[in-house]
Amino acid sequence: LDRATGRPVRRYEHAAPGDLVHVDIKKLGNIPDGGGWRIHGRAQGDRNSRATTTARRNCHPVIGYAYLHTAIDDHSRLAYTEILDDERKDTAAAFWRRAHAWFAAHGITVRRVITDNGSCYKSFLWRDTLRAAGISMKKTRPFRPQTNGKVERFHRTLTDEWAYAKAYSSEAARRAALPAWLHAYNHHRAHTALGGQPPASRVPNLTGQNS
């Protein structure tokens, strides 16, 4: 049921790959060197956080956040994700250019993109980036995050099965594990909404299903 109205939710699925691509950002806390509180508890996790430094900031502790920028095809659920340093408009626009190229390399012509009303997606830069590629822009209705539910559900799966699936000893270790997980999700992981088939099964002539 729709939480706001109590009415049954109408499920939809676009007819072909590229008809609609959902785009969103997920913010995660970085893991300190030696592991965070999920492994060691709060006390040791806090000590590791204070000890994690970077030379660029004069050896002051710097943990910060990872921003997962994701684009997922509505029809096939084929997903593209990058871990970036922020959610600024130029970062989001550059991400989309790479995501668009990735979909094109997989034989998908993107016709329309839907996002929430985050500031980076309301920018002229985002609008112009999509227009230059001949892509229509769509926004979710205010206070209706379920309109972009496919990418939000993907992010929950991503955090459960990758981000918090094991005790990583550092942020670098967690990030190194992402490409293999994404490949497994796209090419091998059974998807209930696809009749138990992986997203790649819905993309004609896509390579890598059996690798």
Nearest to 20 by CA among 115, 92, 95: 115
- Predicted confidence (pLDDT) per residue in 43-63, tens digit: 444 454 555 554 344 443 456
Q: Are β-strands 79-84 and 136-139 bridged in parallel, bridged antiparallel, or unpaired?
A: unpaired
CB neighbour burial string for 145-177, b if at least 16 within 10 angstroms, e if fewer: eebbebbbebbeebeeebbeeeebbbbeebeee
Helix (H) or strand (E) holding 49: helix 42-51
Of 79 and 58, which is predicted with more confidence? Answer: 79
| pLDDT for residue 207 | 55
- The answer to whether 136 and 112 are in contact (CB under 8 A) is yes
Could you give the angle at the alpha carbon of 135 between the alpha carbons of 129 and 137, nearest 5°?
80
Q: Could you give the percent of the chain with pLDDT greater than 70?
A: 72
Residue 56: CB partners within 8 Å, gap ≥ 6? none
Q: What is the 8-class DSSP label of residue 145?
A: G
Q: pLDDT tier at 77 (50, 70, 90 boundaries)?
A: very high
Confidence grade of residue 1 (pLDDT, cut at 50, 70, 90): very low
Which residues lie closer than 8 Å to 121 by C-beta, 6 or more apart? 23, 92, 115, 139
Task: Give the position of tokens 């593209």.
Answer: 80
Instruction: Give mean pLDDT, residues 154-166.
Output: 93
First to last CA, the chain: 39
One-letter amino acid identity for 4?
A
Residue 164 amino acid letter: Y
